[in-house]
Amino acid sequence: MTARIGVVTFPGSLDDRDTQRAIRLAGAEPVALWHKDKDLGQVDAVVLPGGFSYGDYLRAGAISRFSPVMESVIEQAKSGMPVLGICNGFQILTEAHLLPGAMLGNNHLHFICRDQKLRVENADTAWTVDYDAGQEIHIPLKNMDGRYVADERTLDELEAEGRVVFRYVDFNPNGSLRDIAGITNAAGNVVGLMPHPEHAVEPLIGSGRTDGLPFFTSILKKLVNV
Catalytic annotation on 113?
no
3-state secondary structure of 131: coil
3-state secondary structure of 169: coil
Q: What phi and psi values does residue 172 have, to the nearest 5 degrees?
A: -95, 110
Alpha helices, DSSP H only, in the chain? 16-26, 68-78, 88-95, 152-160, 213-225
Selected catalytic residue, list 121, 138, 198, 199: 198
Please state at what angle helix 213-225 crosses helix 16-26, rounded to 10 degrees.
Answer: 60
C-alpha 66 chain-centroid distance: 18
C-alpha 168 chain-centroid distance: 15
User: What would the DSSP string read from start to end of 72-119?
Assistant: HHHHHHHTT--EEEETHHHHHHHHTTSSSSEEE--TTSS-EEEEEEEE
- 5, containing H or E segment: strand 4-9
Selected catalytic residue, list 35, 87, 95, 121: 87
- 182, containing H or E segment: strand 180-184
CB atoms within 10 A of CB 8: 29
For residue 144, the 8-state DSSP code is: S
Catalytic annotation on 152?
no
Enzyme catalytic residues: 87, 196, 198
